[in-house]
Amino acid sequence: MKHTLASLVGCAVVTLGMAVLAGCAKHADFVEVRDQLATISKSQDQDQKRLEALQRRLDSVERIKDGDAMRPKIDDLAGRLQKLESRLAKVEESSLFSSAPKLDPIPSESPKPAKSQKSSGSMDSTALVPGIPSITPTSAFNLAYNDYLNGKYDLAVTGFQRFVKDFPGTSLTPNAHYWLGESYYQQKDYTRAMQAFEYVSTEYPGNEKVPASLFKLGLAAGETGDLAKSKKNLKRVIEEFPTSDEAKLAKNKLAEIR
């Protein structure tokens, strides 16, 4: 377009020059050529402004396209990050289960019938710890249980105490009381250990942890020097749960006491 306008101007100048040389140019011709040149110059300025405006719009469109091209990449990275976080959470939870000993595996979440009203709260096993929105009863139990397995009895006591407070009505609650007693027992705090074991046998009489609780209650009583109470609970294990593994252990312990 610039080339065309320049050609027109050039032609006008040449024409005017030829008219002058020929001696036939009049004042009106000069005025007409001048007006034509002014019109052409103005049109050229307008065209230049339009080109610049179009160039700016083109640049804006290119930037938008670049942003749109990056958006799928950003979304893909965000999705990958979310998947990695989910996998990490599963690995952490599975590692807690894998560290439990074979002799006393972590109980399942299926609720067992209990005569005590302590378990009538029927809190759902997927409930969350107040103030900690991402932890379930199973995870809370496993954290305390792993502290026990690792010999961190102070942390285990704190963890099980917190569990029975926050989750008083789950199928894991009797086990938490039992392992609270075991944690006290390992600390040689036999008085508190007996209280925890007695709580299990009294409040959850139909629970699978009752034989073990009575047996450990007998041992703890013996450690305090209360042999009468020790024998009483060891005999209860033999009489009330004769086929249990604890019954055999109770017989051996009674033989030692005698």
Which pTM was predicted?
0.51
Give the whole-angstrom CA distance, residue 124 versus residue 94.
21
Dihedrals φ, ψ of 51, to 5°? Answer: -60, -45
Q: Specify whether the CB–CB gap between 144 and 179 falls below 8 A.
A: yes
Q: Which residue has the tokens 């074979």?
A: 102
Residue 39 confidence (pLDDT) = 72
CATH top-level class of 117-257:
mainly alpha
Which long-range CB contacts under 8 A does 116-124 form with residues at least 24 apart? 116/203, 116/204, 116/205, 118/168, 118/169, 118/173, 118/203, 118/204, 119/169, 119/170, 119/171, 119/173, 119/174, 119/204, 120/169, 121/168, 121/169, 122/169, 123/167, 123/168, 123/169, 123/170
194: number of CA atoms within 13 Å, CB side? Answer: 15
pLDDT digits over 3-32, tens only? 444 454 454 444 545 444 444 445 565 566
* Per-residue burial over 165-179, b = 16 or more CB atoms within 10 Å of its CB, e = otherwise: ebbebbbbbbbbbbb
Residue 258 confidence (pLDDT) = 73
Q: What is the Cα 121 distance to its own chain's centre?
A: 27
Residues 6+ apart with CB under 8 A from 151: 186
Q: Specify whether the CB–CB gap between 250 and 215 falls below 8 A.
A: yes
Dihedrals φ, ψ of 129, to 5°? Answer: -70, 130
Residues 6+ apart with CB under 8 A from 169: 118, 119, 120, 121, 122, 123
Residue 76 confidence (pLDDT) = 72
What stretches in the chain show pLDDT beneath 70? 1-34, 36-37, 41, 43-44, 47, 58, 60-74, 77-79, 81-134
Residue 106 confidence (pLDDT) = 45
pLDDT digits over 125-169, tens only? 444 444 544 589 999 999 999 999 999 999 999 999 999 999 999
Task: State in Å, rounded, how far the first CA of the chain is from the last one.
Answer: 119
